[in-house]
Amino acid sequence: MRILITAGPTREYIDDVRFLSNASSGQMGYSIAAAALRGGHQVELVTGPVEIAPPAGCTLHRIETTEELRERCLQLFPQCDGVIATAAVCDYRPQQRIAGKITKTGQPVLLELTETSDVLAELGSMRGHRWVVGFALESQDPRNNAMRKLKMKNCSCIVLNDTSAIGSTENTVEVLSPDAETIAFFRGPKPEVAERLMVLIETAIAIRSDSSD
């Protein structure tokens, strides 16, 4: 299979030096990319800024902003069999980016934010015969929020984890089906979780998408 994998954070710039972002390390996405490569798959890895080396053998696409992520994913997805969306997309961006560097004046600065593009929802809308695996990092009402995300974004399944995963070398995930059933539960180092998730995708998720085509 040719698999599109998104990883790491996105950045939304306030001015030329300051930006909004999050603490995603990219470890989960990079671990999944490595597991997919070991499984003999082709990997298109679209990654935000992280401090870890990409797995050898993937085709690497570096991005910063959510719009860059969107453009690259829309370009690549039609040639892929599926997508695993682990990227921690910045949900908001400044209404206006200031040219240069904002100078301190001693006065409060009002920052007006607007929502960024919903990249996963767009990929889900053009899914067709492909499979779409989303990630949901939730801290409140996690299961209901994850299921809402799965349905809104037309995912084949969604991988639910919580904020303890951020920056950690370990993860605990629950994989939910469109029928709100728990189809898998994995806990352990992220590379181990990634291996088990790839086996699930190969033996259940991808096959189910092919049979429903």
Q: Which residues are catalytic?
A: 22
The C-alpha atoms of residue 27 and residue 173 are separated, in whole angstroms, by: 14
Question: Within 10 A of 82 (CB to CB), how many other CB atoms are there?
Answer: 23
State the residue for tokens 């959510």.
66
User: To which H or E segment does residue 160 belong?
Assistant: strand 157-161
Q: Name, in order, each residue with C-beta under 8 angstroms of 116's C-beta and a sequence gap of 6 or more.
A: 10, 12, 66, 67, 89, 90, 91, 92, 93
The dihedrals phi and psi of 184, each to the nearest 5 degrees, come to -165, 155
Question: Within 10 A of 156 (CB to CB), how many other CB atoms are there?
Answer: 23
Residue 141's Cα: distance from chain center in Å?
20
